[in-house]
Structure 1
Amino acid sequence: MPKYFYFARDKAGIKVSGVEDANTQEEVVNRLQARGLTVVGILTEEQQQISTALNLNISSKIKFRPKHGRVTSSDLTLFCRQLATLLGAGVTILRSLNVISQQVNSRRLYETIKLLEKNMEAGLSFHEAMGKFPKVFPELWVNLAESGEASGNLPIVLSRLASYLEQTEAFRSKIISALIYPAILLLVGTGALFFLTVKIIPTFIELFKGFNIELPLLTKMLFSFSSFVRGYFLIIIGVLIVCFFAFRKYISTRDGRKQFEQFLFKAPVVGEFFRVIAIERFTSEMSTLIESGVPILYSLEIAERSVGSVILSEIVAGVKNDVREGKTLSQPLEKSGFFDPMVVQMVAIGEEIGDLSNMFKRLNNYYQEYINTFLTRFTAMFEPVMLVFMGIVVGIMVIGMFLPIFQLTQIK
């Protein structure tokens, strides 16, 4: 019969370890939980040998210099993947944290990992230790870690979380990359118009001062606009800066954020895109949570706080209350009017066959494809639209500048 090496804590938080003969790892977990123990880790004989080798061979005297002070999403994603890999290889969690701490690039994350080690040595579980650092570890992490520890499948749960984070990071990078070119076009176009306004048009103003002719209305308007921009340039910049920070302050409030989201979701062309982004994040989180063994009500509660949209958060709160009262998940989703019929139908099917996690994963894949397609089409459409717009504006400026010259030619 296989041997399993276990690491656990009793109700007082005291470390307990030993060896159990059992057919499966689940059998060991059930035995330990029946004794009132909280399972921290279970290793096979092979995994225990790997763990021992690491403990003997990895020096703690590695010279380590973090490269930066902040904690980026990439730092957290890499930390989660490394931890999942080490735990899956049979390394104890404390040893895994010690190994990872010597490799992270963030000074703050390094200090946090060291504090995690101290808290766990003092008797806290992994998720309890993480919960002490809400500014570093999102609530989603803490809840998934709690689920993994309770089931004895922490390495598997962390591996799923790492996959979720890697997928989210790659998807975010793809969106940013797709929007870089339109942003550059917009920036270059704005810069060109600014140059024409403050440099080229004033040259024509000085040129036409010596001519005793009535300037066309278009030329007068361009001259007035140029004079206004040059005369009040600092004031205009100051007003724009104040408006920017006032807007940021406004949308940092819940009411302000909600009104801004309402505007985005109803905006022509891009409104549907922003709504789909919110649904994509919701389906991604629900898939990860349910697959990791988090109960549906608790999953909705976590999604409510971490979905990133005030409007969707309020909808999820209503869905959670309806589910608590005994309704199926698909019913309040349909009642909200926010989700597409496809979401409602697939969730209903998932409830019927008992496979909600897979249905949410399929929905998430669909919405990611939708977003990718939208970005591809938007980028392809934005370039000609921007070029036509710039051509019209520059054309109006050129016509306005040369109309007086045409008049002079006719007079002569």
Structure 2
Amino acid sequence: MPTIDLSRYEKKKTTPPTQKGNQGGLLAFLNKDINFGSKELSDKKKEFLYLELSSLLQAGINLKSSFELITASQEKEKDKQLFQDIQERVLQGTSFSQALEKSGKFSVYEIFSLEIGEETGKLTEVLQDLAKFYQNKVKQRRKIVSSLSYPCIVLCTSMGAVFFMLEFVVPMFGDIFTRFGGQLPWITSMIISISKTMEGNFLPAFLLCAAVAGVLRYLRKTERFRKTVSGLLLKIPLAGNIVQKIYLARFCNSMRLLISAHIPLLRAISLSRQMIGYYPIESSLQKVEDDILQGHPLHQSLQQFSIYPAKMIMLLKIGEESNKLDYFFARISEQYIDEVEYKTATLSSMMEPFIVIFLGLIVGTILIAMYLPMFEMSNSFH
């Protein structure tokens, strides 16, 4: 079997792990394609590629014809050109994994797995595993977004209605009350004051928010910012646990696929660290690599970090002792995916009534504040 040059799979020094982007809003984060790089193919397109290619190869169609069929089915010219370029490189004698690497659209994780598949004669099996990996990833994200989309839409719509009332409706009533004179109820005065403050400071507030967003976008690449934000995110009740389980599921699923492809444990951890994109796990894996080099078992190395639950550590310990780590990583990943879906549905069901009640109180307070002086004026005329 030819020797694999592992050195070329190391992450380039110009983009160390601590320079990756961090979380934005929760919904944006959950709906985001984690592509291990900003220029990579989307998860959905990768799922399609690996699923179609594995099915065609399994049916006995050669790689050239399979790629021709896949290329012909592409609707976007950009995707069609990408697959044509890969096909041409393969026809020129480049291996499939190297052709994907030269395109710059695929992760080290995929390239390394596919190279192992080529050299062991199990390319179809590796393609099926990659297809399943991205299929589960896309499915999980869709379920999460589906659960959170309704409450978020309700929240945004209601906040828009409140902004409209404070910006346009309240000033109209304020002008009317000013003409009539007299003492306004304290609640009415407070609402009118808030409306005038918003009207007079809308542009500065908008510019300030834009400036803060720009600063955060710049700082999000720094290690200290990533560490702080991820730590705060984990402390948010329920939502923090969901984020933790999402990344743990992805880490376990990645490790399952890499170990199933007979990649050494140390190399599998190194590749997972490069692609995980979540500071608590990413930083811990660097220390885990060092511990394993010193002879410590995986479960013992992970045990020193609070991000890994005790149950996960115990299952991995059993996996190491029985030499079935890939099986236990798969079990843990499936369990966390199920937990994320359940907790996301729970979060959604909890958010809906609270949003309705909270915004109902705000709108009701504004309406009462506007109509209270009218009632008082009506009574004074009688």
TM-score range, shorter chain: 0.7 to 0.9
- Assess if the C-alpha contact under 8 Å between 2:238 and 2:343 holds in 1: no
Alpha-carbon distance in 2 for matches of 1:140, 1:109: 21
Q: 1:212 to 1:99 in 2, by over 3 A?
A: closer
Q: 1:242 aligned to 2:217?
A: no
Equivalent position to 1:326, from 286, 295, 306: 295
Counterpart residue identity of residue 97, structure 1: F
Shift of 1:391: 1.7
Alpha-carbon distance in 1 for matches of 2:99, 2:40: 20
Question: What amino acid does structure 2 have at the position aligned with 1:278?
Answer: Y
Does residue 137 (structure 1) correspond to residue 106 (structure 2)? The answer is yes
Cα distance in 1, alignment partners of residues 214 and 70 from structure 2: 39
Q: Would you say the 8 A contact 2:86–2:100 is kept in 1?
A: yes
In 1, are the aligned partners of 2:41 and 2:106 still within 8 Å (CA)?
no
Q: Residue 94 in 1 paired to residue 64 in 2?
A: yes
Instruction: Measure, in 2, the Cα distance between the counterparts of 1:380 and 1:94.
Output: 50
The alpha-carbon deviation at position 216 of structure 1 amounts to: 2.8
In structure 2, give the amino acid aligned to 1:73: D
Q: Which moved more, 1:256-265 or 1:229-238?
A: 229-238
Give the aligned partner of residue 125 of structure 2.
156
C-alpha contact (below 8 Å) 1:88/1:156 kept by paired residues: no
3-state SS of paired residue (1:232): helix
1:358-369 equivalences in 2 (<5 Å)? 358-369=327-338
Q: Which moved more, 1:174-183 or 1:393-402?
A: 393-402
Q: Please give the secondary structure, in 2, of the residue aligned with 1:124.
A: coil
1:348 is aligned to 2:313: no
Q: Is the 8 A contact 2:40 2:107 kept in 1?
A: no
Deviations 1:342-376 (A, max 9, x none): 10000000111111111111111111111111111
- State the alpha-carbon separation in 1 of the partners of residues 186 and 107 from structure 2: 59
Q: Deviations over 1:48-77 (max 9, x none)?
A: xxxxxxxxxxxxxxxxxxxxx994332221
Q: Which has the larger radius of gyration?
A: 1
Distance 2:71 2:108 in 1: 21
TM-score (structure 2 length as normaliser): 0.85
Post-superposition offset of 1:235: 3.2
Are 2:270 and 2:289, in contact at CA under 8 Å, matched by a contact in 1? yes
Mapped to 1, the partners of 2:237 and 2:100 lie a distance apart of 42
Q: Structure 1: which 5+ residue stretches go unaligned?
A: 1-32, 39-68
Contact 1:160–1:292, Cα closer than 8 Å, also in 2: no
**Taking structure 1 as reference, are residues 279 and 184 closer, same or farther at Cα in structure 2, changes over 3 Å only?**
same
The answer for the alignment partner of 1:9 in structure 2 is none
How far the C-alpha of 1:197 sits from its partner, in A, is: 0.6
Question: What is the RMSD computed on CA atoms of the aligned residues?
Answer: 2.2
Contact 1:101 1:110 in 2 (8 A): yes
Give 2:201's aligned residue.
Answer: 232
- C-alpha distance in 2, partners of 1:122/1:319? 41
The Cα of 1:37 is off from its aligned counterpart by 10
CA gap 1:279/1:391 in 2 versus in 1, 3 angstroms: same
1:112 maps to a residue whose letter is L
Moved more, 111-120 or 195-204: 111-120
Deviation at 1:191, TM superposition (A): 1.1
Equivalent residues of 1:120, 1:129 under 8 A apart: yes
Please identify runs of 4+ aligned residues in structure 1 that moved more than 3 A: 69-72, 252-255, 405-412
Q: Cα distance 1:401–1:352, how it changes in 2: closer, same or farther (>3 A)? A: same
Following TM superposition, by how much is the alpha carbon of 1:409 offset from its aligned partner in structure 2, in angstroms? 5.0
Q: Which AA in structure 1 matches 2:98?
A: E
Q: Do residues 124 (structure 1) and 94 (structure 2) align?
A: yes
| Structure possessing the higher relative contact order (Cα contacts under 8 Å, 6 or more residues apart) | 2
Q: 1:101 to 1:212 in 2, by over 3 A?
A: closer
SS in structure 2 opposite 1:104? coil
- 1:334·1:341 contact (CA, 8 Å) conserved in 2? yes
Is the contact made by 2:238 and 2:347 (CA closer than 8 Å) also made in structure 1? no
Equivalenced residue count is 347
- Rounded to whole Å, the distance in 1 between the matches of 2:149 and 2:126 is 35
Shift of 1:224: 1.5
Distance 1:139 1:265 in 2: 28
**Superposition map of 1:2-401 within 5 A:** 33=1, 71-134=41-104, 136-401=105-370
Q: Is the 8 A contact 1:130 1:137 kept in 2?
A: yes
Quickly say closer, same or farther: Cα 1:75–1:269, change in 2 above 3 A.
closer
Conserved 8 A contact 1:75-1:106: no
Q: 1:118 to 1:255 in 2, by over 3 A?
A: farther
Corresponding residue SS for 1:339: coil
State whether residues 71 and 106 of structure 1, in contact with CA within 8 Å, keep that contact through their aligned partners in structure 2: no
8 Å contact kept, 2:174–2:192: yes
Question: Corresponding residue for 2:32?
Answer: none
Structure 1 residue 269: Cα displacement = 3.4
What displacement does 1:411 show? Answer: 4.6
Paired residues of 2:242 and 2:344 also in contact (CA < 8 A): no
Query: Residues 254 and 107 (structure 1 numbering): CA distance in 2 closer, same or farther, change over 3 Å?
Result: farther
Moved more, 344-353 or 229-238: 229-238
2: distance between equivalents of 1:116 and 1:70? 14
CA distance in 2, matches of 1:85, 1:411: 82
Give secondary structure in 2 for the equivalent of 1:215: coil
Give the alignment's TM-score, normalised by structure 1: 0.79
Counterpart CA distance in 1 for 2:75 and 2:264 is 35
Question: What is the CA–CA distance in structure 2 between the aligned matches of 1:320 and 1:105, rounded to whole Å?
Answer: 43
Question: Cα 1:292–1:242, aligned 2, differ >3 Å: closer, same or farther?
Answer: same
